[in-house]
Amino acid sequence: MTSTFLFLMMLMNGPATVIDDLSNEQIFAMKNEMREFAKNLQINDSNVYYDNHYPYGMDDDYYKNELIGYWENYQLLKNTPRLEEYGRRFQYQNLKAVEAALRFNKEFEKELTKKLDWELDRAPFYQLVLDENAQCREIWNKIMLLTCEEDYYGEGLKRRTYLQLKKLIDEKDWLNPDYIPPEVPIWRFYEKGK
């Protein structure tokens, strides 16, 4: 372990105000080690860095903001499982299936919105179903992020996504490794008494 890695580990465990004392030149000098450190700890949001593609016209505090982002992710994720511990959970091999689920969700919302305009006596019920549908779409948007190419999205972003999914999905369903969330609020389609 290099002295830069040890220094970064001390920064992660200290208050955020310590980062403000560092100059942009100091942070720039250790940017490569900083990014490798973030990847090893799985606190990076992206594996693509704008300074590699757009070196001109960057903000003066670009590297300091990047380091602060790593610090914030470290604080949030330090007591959560690493990405490997989740396995391939919710990461589907077929991206088209996830896109189809999202399309179905959006079409369902369009149809329900039309009904909302025409059937005013049932408006509160339709609004409730629209809210539940929005939650289903939020879950599938997060699954889309987990299914996308790993080259772009960083491990830290995926770990945060798992945390958010865990809050959105019922605990019983979360513990079931074969659980696939519904694309729309299917519990509204069951007939009474069945």
Q: For residue range 171-193, what is the model confidence (pLDDT) as tens digits?
A: 898 888 888 899 999 887 765 55
Q: Which residues pair with 153 in a beta bridge?
A: 46
Angle, helices 3-13 vs 31-41, to 10°: value is 60
Which of 57-61, 67-71, 150-154 has the highest mean predicted lDDT (pLDDT)? 67-71
* CA distance linking residue 34 with residue 40, whole number of Å: 10
Q: How confident is the model at residue 51 (pLDDT cuts 50, 70, 90)?
A: low
- Asked if the model's pLDDT at residue 71 lies above 60, the reply is yes
Query: Residue type at 6?
Result: L
| Chain-centre distance for alpha carbon 16 | 23
* CA distance linking residue 169 with residue 70, whole number of Å: 27
**Predicted local distance difference test score (pLDDT) of residue 56:** 54
Average pLDDT over residues 106-134: 92
Q: Which residue in 189, 186, 182 sits closest to 102, CA to CA? A: 182
**Predicted local distance difference test score (pLDDT) of residue 4:** 86
Query: Residue type at 99?
Result: E
Percentage above 90 pLDDT, the chain: 27
Q: How confident is the model at residue 117 (pLDDT cuts 50, 70, 90)?
A: confident
**Average confidence score pLDDT of the chain:** 84
Average pLDDT over residues 144-157: 80
Which of 11-25, 134-148, 179-193 has the highest mean predicted lDDT (pLDDT)? 134-148
Q: Is the pTM of this model over 0.85?
A: no
* CA distance linking residue 2 with residue 37, whole number of Å: 10
Q: How confident is the model at residue 18 (pLDDT cuts 50, 70, 90)?
A: confident
